[in-house]
Amino acid sequence: MSINRRQVIAGTAGLAAATALGGKFGIGNALAQDGIPTFTPEEGASLRLLRWVPFVEAEEEAWNANTKAFTEATGVEVRIDQESWEDVRPKAAVAANIGSGPDMVMGWFDDAHQYPDKLLDLTDLGVALGQAHGGWYEGLEGYARRGDQFIALPLCAIGNAICYRQSHMEKAGFSEFPKDTAGFLELCKALKAQGTPAGFPHGKAVGDANNYAHWLLWSHGGQMVDDQGKVTINSPETLAAIEYAKQLYDTFIPGTESWLDINNNRAFMAGQVSLTANGVSLYYAAKNDPAMAEMAEDIRSVTLPIGPIGKSVELHQTSTLSVFNHTKYPEAAKAYLAFMYQADKMNAWIEGASAYCCQPLKAFADNPVWTSNPIHEPYSHASESLRPNGYAGPLGAASAGVMADYVLVDMFAEAVTGQRSAEEAAANAERRANRYYRV
């Protein structure tokens, strides 16, 4: 990937003005929220946050503006380190295991369950925020909780939807987008025939490849484990999903087996594919580029097609905020999180993200961003509709390990590229998954 690592230091400009608000650095006014515990940062505290590189510039700007406001109110500098999506997980795991590095991490899915004993207990804050803001969405909350304990705070669901070129679809002979997987396959065949193919990642893309692989599996009735955590991936439903994936892969642009999260964006923007699944960032990348105005006008979004099971089932990328227990400044870290979840701060971030980040708390569902553009509609219910990656079993170390090891993504990649037969790929996924699930 060619995304460079960047660091942002939230400055202390305006500190004197904040002090004049009352109290030391105005902490009493800036951090007080009805029903939310107040945390007083330690003397001389500073923090470091590891986060994923943003795909929407305004999302980053809103997050940094909120961070700067926190610094101005408290005097606590917050350094923000950005890493590629694929690099956040291993870097966070290293920090957890060696006990040094960033104080906080903006992590993926159920990563927090890989090292729960290395994380600060956020239960007091998690419970209070839920009570104050209409409750957490169930799927997101599951990623952040271990039993009754919050080992992280749910941050967002990054909605996943089909992005396609309307004119290319119509030229292929379709007046409307197919609603089921059978019709979708026919559309992809027609798009390939006219030289405007589709493309979905089969590489180790933490977001797009996992979203695609889980949709393939679930839409055909397959699942990694049952509700008791027993591995059930080697099933007739899984074989049907693999066979369907092979047919779709035959319509794709070459090279998708090595795609990471940035590659489908680049292929779409370059006109190499006219259909993929992505966050709304793809649309805004075109809309905000004057040279891409014609493409932006042609882009449409829609939920992924419904498979043989007869209902919509999608993963959606999710992110949480965790605090490592090696931090020297736990009160400052909790104060930062509480500040970022204040209603005005959270709403500003959600709006700045332009439908890229779906709210974690139900009180923010009426943010005007969701009705500001029809392109946003498929993304508006991501937090409510997502199915956790550990389905149908409980989230925990096993589900996190299987996700981090790309067991499902690799199964489809092995089969569609011919490295293994469908039966061999399913059996290999079963073997690998059983290393994590020991029921």
CA proximity to 340, closest of 142, 124, 158, 73: 73
Identify whether residues 138 and 81 lie together within a single domain. Answer: yes
Identify whether residues 128 and 256 lie together within a single domain. Answer: no
Instruction: Give the Cα separation of 28 and 121 in Å (integer).
Output: 23
Domain for residue 279, yes or no? yes
Q: Which token pair is 269?
A: 């923007």
pLDDT of residue 32: 72
Domain for residue 295, yes or no? yes
Instruction: Give the Cα separation of 304 and 206 in Å (integer).
Output: 18
pLDDT of residue 34: 77
Domain for residue 400, yes or no? no
Identify whether residues 366 and 427 lie together within a single domain. Answer: no
**CB–CB of 191/275 below 8 Å?**
yes
Q: Where are the beta strands (DSSP E) in 250-304?
A: 275-278, 299-302
> E strand or H helix at 320, and its extent?
strand 317-323
Bridge-based pairing of strands 317-323 and 149-150 is: unpaired
Give 330-384 as a DSSP string. HHHHHHHHHHHTSHHHHHHHHHHTTTSSB-SBGGGTT-GGGGS-GGGGGGTTHHH
Domain for residue 331, yes or no? yes
Identify whether residues 203 and 304 lie together within a single domain. Answer: yes
Bridge-based pairing of strands 149-150 and 145-146 is: antiparallel
CA atoms within 13 A on the CB side of 224: 34
Domain count, the chain: 2
pLDDT of residue 4: 34
Q: Domain of 213? A: 161-315+405-434
pTM, whole model, 2 decimals? 0.90
φ, ψ of residue 75 to 5 degrees: the values are: 80, 0
**CB–CB of 79/101 below 8 Å?**
no
What is the CATH classification number for the domain harbouring 202? 3.40.190.10
Q: How many CB atoms lie within 10 A of CB 419?
A: 13
Instruction: Give the Cα separation of 198 and 340 in Å (integer).
Output: 38
Q: Which token pair is 299?
A: 């882009």
Identify whether residues 301 and 331 lie together within a single domain. Answer: no
Identify whether residues 165 and 148 lie together within a single domain. Answer: no
Identify whether residues 252 and 285 lie together within a single domain. Answer: yes
Domain for residue 399, yes or no? no
Three-state DSSP at 252 gives strand
Identify whether residues 132 and 168 lie together within a single domain. Answer: no
Identify whether residues 353 and 381 lie together within a single domain. Answer: yes
* Region for 294 from its dihedrals, namely left if φ exceeds 0, alpha if ψ lies in -120 to 50, beta otherwise: alpha
Determine the straight-line distance between the first and last CA of the chain, rounded to whole angstroms. 38
Domain for residue 391, yes or no? no
Give 156-180 as a DSSP string. EEE--EEEEEHHHHHHTT-SS--SB
Identify whether residues 32 and 69 lie together within a single domain. Answer: yes
Sign of torsion, CA 279 284 287 292? negative
Question: Radius of gyration of the chain from Cα atoms?
Answer: 22
Domain for residue 52, yes or no? yes
Question: For every one of its 439 residues, what pLDDT tens digit does the chain have, with 9 covering 90 and above?
Answer: 233 333 333 333 333 333 333 334 445 566 777 789 999 999 999 999 999 999 999 999 999 999 999 999 999 999 999 999 999 999 999 999 999 999 999 999 999 999 999 999 999 999 999 999 999 999 999 999 999 999 999 999 999 999 999 999 999 999 999 999 999 999 999 999 999 999 999 999 999 999 999 999 999 999 999 999 999 999 999 999 999 999 999 999 999 999 999 999 999 999 999 999 999 999 999 999 999 999 999 999 999 999 999 999 999 999 999 999 999 999 999 999 999 999 999 999 999 999 999 999 999 999 999 999 999 999 999 999 999 999 999 999 999 999 999 999 999 999 999 999 999 999 999 999 999 998 6
Q: How many CB atoms lie within 10 A of CB 96?
A: 25
Domain for residue 393, yes or no? no
Identify whether residues 207 and 341 lie together within a single domain. Answer: no
pLDDT of residue 11: 32
Could you check whether the bond before residue 397 is cis, i.e. omega within 30 degrees of 0?
no
pLDDT of residue 274: 98
Instruction: Give the Cα separation of 382 and 380 in Å (integer).
Output: 6
CA proximity to 332, closest of 74, 123, 34, 80: 74
CA proximity to 284, closest of 271, 306, 268, 260: 268
What residues contact 307, with CB distance under 8 A and at least 6 apart?
180, 181, 218, 219, 220, 221, 244, 313
Identify whether residues 311 and 224 lie together within a single domain. Answer: yes
